[in-house]
Structures are given as C-alpha cells and as structure tokens.
C-alpha cells in the first residue's frame, strides 16, 4: 500500500522524551523525512535520511527506522516543539511523494 500512518495526536510532559511514529510499506528499506509545522507557518524539515538534521535543528531531534516504521524522537522536549509533525516517503512507483496524516504534538 502507498499510505503512511501516523497517530493523530501525542502529548508529552515538558522535558521528557517523545517518539512519533510513521508506518507504511513504502518505508521498508527507505528512510522517511520529517517535517515540523507550527501554526501559521510553513513546514520545515527536521530530519532526513537515516538521522540527519539540517543546520539549525536542535540535536534533541533524532530519527530512526525499523522495518516499515520510521520514528522521530524528541529528547528533552521543549515548549517550542509543540507543533504538527509529518513524515513523507514515496509511493510504490518511487516517483510520487506521499505524506503521513500528521501528528499533533502537545507539550504539557
């Protein structure tokens, strides 16, 4: 299937660790990218590849992958991390982008 499944909402206490997952057959053997979107803003990439952070992304963000599941982990979550997070991959053709449905992260 060419779908990516994310939990709609996740919450985490300030300073704690949270894992956001993305599941789909298209992830077998491929890494997802992860995007953070804050209200009223365009998404920004926070993780790409196995576990690569663009310049300016704090090192509390990390990525991992196992079989058909990609994970974004935030260690020591900060209030400013409250946002929607999206994963992406490609469909079975490899030519078309697919996004997960997004996870709304609430920092308590």
Partner 1 sequence: QVQLQESGPGLVKPSQTLSLTCTVSGGSIRSGDYYWSWIRQHPGKGLEWIGYIYYSGSTYYNPSLKSRISISVDTSNNLFSLKLSSVTAADTALYYCARFYSTYYYESSGYTRGYFDYWGQGTLVTVSS
Nearer residue to partner 1 within complex by CB, 79 or 93:
93
Contact 37, 86 (CB under 8 A): yes
Q: How far is the CB of 52 from partner 1 (least distance, A)?
A: 8
Among 56, 59, 79, 97, binds partner 1 (CB under 8 A): 97
User: Dihedral of CA 22/11/73/17: which sign?
Assistant: negative
Is 94 an interacting residue with respect to partner 1 (CB under 8 A)? yes
Is 100 an interacting residue with respect to partner 1 (CB under 8 A)? yes
CA angle 72/77/78 to nearest 5° reads 130
């Amino acid at each position: 299937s060419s779908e990516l499944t994310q939990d709609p909402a996740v919450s985490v206490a300030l300073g704690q660790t949270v894992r956001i997952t993305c599941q789909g057959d298209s992830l077998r053997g491929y890494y997802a990218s992860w995007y953070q979107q804050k209200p009223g803003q365009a998404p920004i990439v926070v993780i790409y590849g196995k576990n690569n952070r663009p310049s300016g992304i704090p090192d509390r963000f990390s990525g991992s992958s196992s079989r058909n599941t990609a994970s974004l982990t935030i260690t020591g979550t900060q209030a400013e991390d409250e946002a929607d997070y999206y994963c992406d991959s490609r469909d079975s053709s490899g030519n078309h982008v697919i996004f997960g449905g997004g996870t709304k992260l609430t920092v308590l």
